[in-house]
Amino acid sequence: MAESTPALSQTAFVQQLNFWARDASNESAALLGAFALGMFAHLPDEGSSTPVSLEELAQRIGGTVRGTRSVIEPLVGLGFVRLEEGRGYSLPASSDFLRQEGFAARMREALEGWLVSAKLPEALRTGAPVEWRGGSRDLLGWYRQEFLAPRAPAPSPTAADYEDRAVRNFLRTQALVTSGTVGLLEAMVSGPRPLSELAKATGTQPEALRVLLGVLASMGLVRQEGDAFGFSELAGRSLDATSLPYFQRALPATMDYWEAFAHLDEAVTQRGFRLDLRDPETAKRIYQQNASRITGIFVSHLKLGRKAAELVASMRPLKDARVLDVGTGSGVWGAAFGLADPSVHVTYLDSEHVLEQVKPNIAKLKLDGRARYWAGDCLSVDYGESQYDVILLPQVIPALPPEELPRLFGQLARALRPQGLLLVSGYLLTDRRDGPLDALYFALRRYVSNEGDVLSMPDFRRLLEPVGLTSSRGFEMPIQQVVVASRGDVPWPAP
Ligand X SMILES: C[S@@+](CC[C@H](N)C(=O)[O-])C[C@H]1O[C@@H](n2cnc3c(N)ncnc32)[C@H](O)[C@@H]1O
Q: What is the 3-state secondary structure (H, E, C) of 256-319?
A: HCHHHHHCHHHHHHHCCCCCCCCCHHHHHHHHHHHHHHHHHCHHHHHHHHHHHHHHHHCCCCCC
Phi/psi region, residue 398 (left: phi>0; alpha: psi -120 to 50; beta: rest), is: alpha
* Residue 37 or 367 having the CB closest to ligand X: 367
* Residue 25 or 480 having the CB closest to ligand X: 480
* Cis before 192? omega within 30: no
- CB 421 to ligand X: min, Å: 17
Parallel/antiparallel/unpaired status of strands 228-231 and 322-326: unpaired
Parallel/antiparallel/unpaired status of strands 345-350 and 371-375: parallel
- CB 389 to ligand X: min, Å: 19
* Residue 332 or 485 having the CB closest to ligand X: 332
- CB 334 to ligand X: min, Å: 9
Nearest residue to ligand X on Cβ basis: 329
Nearest to 118 by CA among 105, 106, 131, 107: 131
Residues near ligand X, by CB under 6 A: 287, 290-291, 294, 301, 327-330, 332-333, 350-351, 354, 377-379, 394-396, 399-400
Kindly report the number of other CB atoms within 10 A of residue 24's CB atom. 24
Kindly report the number of other CB atoms within 10 A of residue 51's CB atom. 23
What are the φ and ψ backbone dihedral angles of 317, each rounded to 5 degrees? -65, 145
* Residue 59 or 290 having the CB closest to ligand X: 290
- CB 9 to ligand X: min, Å: 28
* Residue 230 or 331 having the CB closest to ligand X: 331
* Residue 289 or 471 having the CB closest to ligand X: 289
What are the φ and ψ backbone dihedral angles of 494, each rounded to 5 degrees? -65, 140
- CB 322 to ligand X: min, Å: 18
- CB 134 to ligand X: min, Å: 39
Contacts of 203 (CB under 8 A, 6+ apart): 125, 182, 183
* Residue 235 or 340 having the CB closest to ligand X: 340
- CB 293 to ligand X: min, Å: 9
